[in-house]
A = this chain, B = another copy of it.
Amino acid sequence: MKYCFGIDVGGTTVKCGLFRTDGTLEEKWEIPTRTENHGEAILPDIAASILEKMKERGITREMTAGVGVDVPGPVNENGEVPCAVNLHWGYKHIAREMEALTGLKAKAANDANAAALGESWRGGAAGIPNVLMATLGTGVGGGIIVDGRIVCGAHGSGGEIGHANVEPEETEYCNCGNQGCLEQMTSATGIVRLAKKELKSSDDSSVLRQSQVTAKAVFDAYKQGDELAGRVVKKFASYLGRGLAIFACVTDPEVILIGGGVSKAGEPLIEAVQQEYRKAAFPTCKDTPIKLAVLGNDAGIYGAAKLVLQG
């Protein structure tokens, strides 16, 4: 048992990783995600790529602990998903299908959950068994690690913190159909939404008036001292910080990680969030460190690989 595979399935690309069981990433590569015909080729394509890689490297099944797969969808503990919209999937028993296709032990998880597990294995929270991770991208995902394992929950919705209702007064709708979700305030698109509101509500000058408003532009302007951008970041940080403080009352993580494209804004983002987090956090949790995730787009393959090592 020297190797395992970690596979991160996205809507356009599948990221594949060959790992040593000690967590060393030996090689990574990508294959396209073929979503046509209800995405029926996705798992067979992955299996073929894995078997080819094993052949190429002379890796036998006996040398392989297994393959972990993460997908954008609510995966339960058994590795089943009721549906995964971006992959055009309905119900699928991912783990069982992958086992049949490869002859290897297989596990599956939600992608944001896998990212959190990856970060707690070899990333920003390496070796820490109790972690909460928020992934701020186009949407907001999350992962809860307790005792070193993903909390999947009863419906595979463990860690769906992007849909925590943090604004009961919100009138616009989230993609999930609710109103006031954290995702509407703190995703890349959510930040743009907050910024546009702020731009509309005043005539204050701002560099944000001179170009396309993106989450990156907001944080860049903030770092340059733009006051209007500062108000947007403050609002973003207040929603996220207070949300994280609430979540910390549930599982009391040892460390909170922030990842995803938005987190490229770096330490100024962390500082703004930490400040708001402290205001709302339960006294014993006020000093819980909030840190940047470090594995970037590789977090998923690390977490997926770790899955099969957990038995």
Say whether B164 contacts A246, CB under 8 Å.
yes
Say whether B250 contacts A251, CB under 8 Å.
yes
Inter-chain CA distance A176–B242, complex, in Å, is 16
Say whether A159 contacts B282, CB under 8 Å.
no
Inter-chain CA distance A285–B82, complex, in Å, is 14
**Smallest Cβ distance from A67 to chain B, in angstroms?**
23
Interface residues on A, range: 35 or more
Tallying the copies of this chain within the complex gives 2
**CB-contacts of A118-161 with B (<8 A):** 130, 142, 144, 146-147, 149, 151-161
Spell out A's residues near B (CB within 8 Å). Answer: 74, 82, 130, 142, 144, 146-147, 149, 151-166, 168, 176-178, 180, 238, 242-243, 245-254, 279-285, 288
- Which chain B residue has the least Cβ–Cβ distance from A159? B250
- Which chain B residue has the least Cβ–Cβ distance from A158? B252
Which of B153, B163, B245 contacts A165 (CB under 8 A)?
B245
Which residues of B lie under 8 Å from residue A251 when comparing CB positions?
144, 151, 153, 158, 250-251
Which residues of B lie under 8 Å from residue A163 when comparing CB positions?
249, 282
**Smallest Cβ distance from A116 to chain B, in angstroms?**
12
Which residues of B lie under 8 Å from residue A146 when comparing CB positions?
146, 151
Inter-chain CA distance A251–B154, complex, in Å, is 8
Which of B82, B164, B283 contacts A249 (CB under 8 A)?
B164
Inter-chain CA distance A177–B238, complex, in Å, is 19
**Smallest Cβ distance from A156 to chain B, in angstroms?**
7
Say whether A154 contacts B252, CB under 8 Å.
yes
Which of B159, B177, B242, B253 contacts A168 (CB under 8 A)?
B242
